[in-house]
Structure 1
Amino acid sequence: MKGFLGRLLGRDPVPATVAEHLAAEEAVVATATANGGGILVVTSWGIWPPGEPPERVGWHEIGKAAWDKSALVVIPTVAEEIAPGTELLADAGPRRFRLAEPGKVPQAVQERVTGSIRSRNHRELPGGGAWVLQRKVPGRDGLVVQVRPDVGTDPIAARRLAEGIAARLPEN
């Protein structure tokens, strides 16, 4: 049901299954209808892809996001906790969302993925390198340090880098 308010705002309503899972401080930023059905919801805390069960992908859990003029492509990450506050990341498979009318969704996603990063630097490692990121986790105080190796980087070197960073951080 797209009521008066939905038409006024120019977006589809938030599906009830997503709305009931939103955190109290989580605000809806944009929505778009996905080709094939369902609504992609962008909030201040992450994206809610269409489908059941509803599941948020937080901004700190997205390695890359891009709009390719036909679809929003999001590459989520899988995090291994090395120590409290330090994670070693690996890319999960890309998720592609074809959107009938993308509206503000691509811009909102790009701004929030980038905005979750408070600092970044690249370290050279055998076989490539790794990005060391400090990121804000929605709904939590403080930052998480993430080590995201480039493709082809020696995984042992990336793990040692993450462990070394964790050892130098103050304990929570």
Structure 2
Amino acid sequence: MLNALWRKLFKQGLPADFTGSLDGEEAVLAHAAVRGGGYLVATSLGLWLPGPRRVGWHLISKATWGGSALAVVEAEEDGEAGDAMLLRDLPPQRFTLEEPGKIPQVVHTRVTGSIKTRQHIGDAWYLQRKVPGRGGVVLQVRPDPDADVTALRDIAAGVAAKMKDLKPSE
């Protein structure tokens, strides 16, 4: 608790002019200046984008490093299907970094590490992902662009119910 207070007071590991507000035990893993202003800050809970705005690791569909830029595809929650969450990908964002440091490695490790399972079935990707700061996993369903989302919602709810039935009793 004292470490969290110390980090908050002195923004340990953060650029001096970072204006975001970290949560309690949120730890900074890496940061890099973005050409044109702002920072990418990777923490234990997600990736802070210039603005600043944090995107949880479980809501990054794809992140690719090329040259001196990181391209990030963020997903937004687009409704529930039983115990599953439907996702919709937003347009990619590209961030050119002055000195990338550990950002590409940390982002890759955190995004892939959040995925427990992933499988493409029919017209959608089904992913079980860990949500930073919470226990357990969530079932996410990301429809293909031409998928019938109404029909997929029923299928996803059925898959989520079957998965819940398969979990051992506690």
Q: TM-score, normalised by structure 2?
A: 0.80
Q: Which runs of 5+ in 2 are unaligned?
A: 1-12, 166-170
Assess, with a 3 A threshold, how the Cα gap between structure 1 residues 140 and 15 changes in structure 2: closer, same or farther. farther
- Between stretches 38-47 and 156-165, larger displacement belongs to 156-165
Alpha-carbon distance in 1 for matches of 2:84, 2:116: 15
Q: Which runs of 5+ in 1 are unaligned?
A: 1-10
Residue deviations 1:83-132, cap 9 Å, x none?
564101110111111111111111111111110001111202xxxx2111
Assess, with a 3 A threshold, how the Cα gap between structure 1 residues 60 and 14 changes in structure 2: closer, same or farther. farther
- Kindly indicate whether residue 146 of structure 2 is the aligned counterpart of residue 152 of structure 1: yes
Counterparts in 2 of 1:2-151, with a 5 A limit?
13=15, 15-18=17-20, 21-51=21-51, 54-83=52-81, 85-124=83-122, 129-151=123-145
Alpha-carbon distance in 1 for matches of 2:16, 2:25: 16
Q: TM-score, normalised by structure 1?
A: 0.80
Alignment check: 8 A CA contact 1:85 1:143 kept: no
Alpha-carbon distance in 2 for matches of 1:76, 1:131: 15
Alpha-carbon distance in 2 for matches of 1:123, 1:83: 16
Alpha-carbon distance in 2 for matches of 1:40, 1:60: 17
Alpha-carbon distance in 2 for matches of 1:41, 1:84: 34
Residue from 144, 160, 163 that aligns with 1:166: 160
Assess, with a 3 A threshold, how the Cα gap between structure 1 residues 146 and 68 changes in structure 2: closer, same or farther. same
Alignment check: 8 A CA contact 2:33 2:97 kept: yes
Query: Structure 1 segments of 4 or more deviating over 6 A?
Result: none
Letter in 2 for 1:166: A
Alpha-carbon distance in 1 for matches of 2:109, 2:73: 15
